[in-house]
């Protein structure tokens, strides 16, 4: 588990903060938020998942991510999530992401997540 590597990239921090704001997001929402190639977003999500900072679930053809706040999450994971949330909540990029998420999620699911 490499939490420091996971937290060393601005886009991965943005993903964590988006998940903090919305509890759970589809990969398509994360792709749209970051405006990166899907393969790049997949790599970021892989790193976050390997660090056990996020969990994924599949629902049909969609994959949803959420912060790992389960009871079995290690103390280190819990502390890292608390620290990052506290540290960057008021960052202008994070605030802009929250606003963008609100606009994105007001669109119907089928429109936002079409292939």
Domains of the chain, residue spans: 3-101
CA nearest to 73, candidates 51, 42, 93 = 51
Tens of pLDDT, residues 17-28: 999 999 899 999
Whole-number Å distance between alpha carbons of 79 and 59: 29
pTM for this model (two decimals): 0.89
3-101: which CATH number, 1.20.1440.230, 3.40.47.10, 3.60.15.10, 1.10.10.10? 1.10.10.10
Is 49's pLDDT higher than 90? yes
What confidence score (pLDDT) does residue 96 get? Answer: 96
């Amino acid at each position: 588990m490499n939490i420091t590597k996971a937290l060393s990239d601005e886009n991965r921090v943005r993903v964590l903060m988006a998940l903090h704001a919305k509890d759970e997001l589809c990969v398509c929402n994360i792709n749209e938020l970051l405006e990166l190639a899907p393969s790049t977003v997949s790599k970021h999500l892989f790193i976050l998942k390997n660090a056990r900072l996020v969990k994924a679930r599949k629902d049909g053809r969609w994959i949803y991510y959420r912060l790992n706040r389960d009871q079995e999450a290690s103390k280190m994971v819990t502390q890292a999530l608390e620290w990052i949330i506290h540290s960057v909540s008021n960052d202008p990029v994070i605030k802009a992401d929250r606003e963008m998420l609100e606009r994105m999620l007001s669109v119907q699911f089928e429109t936002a997540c079409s292939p």
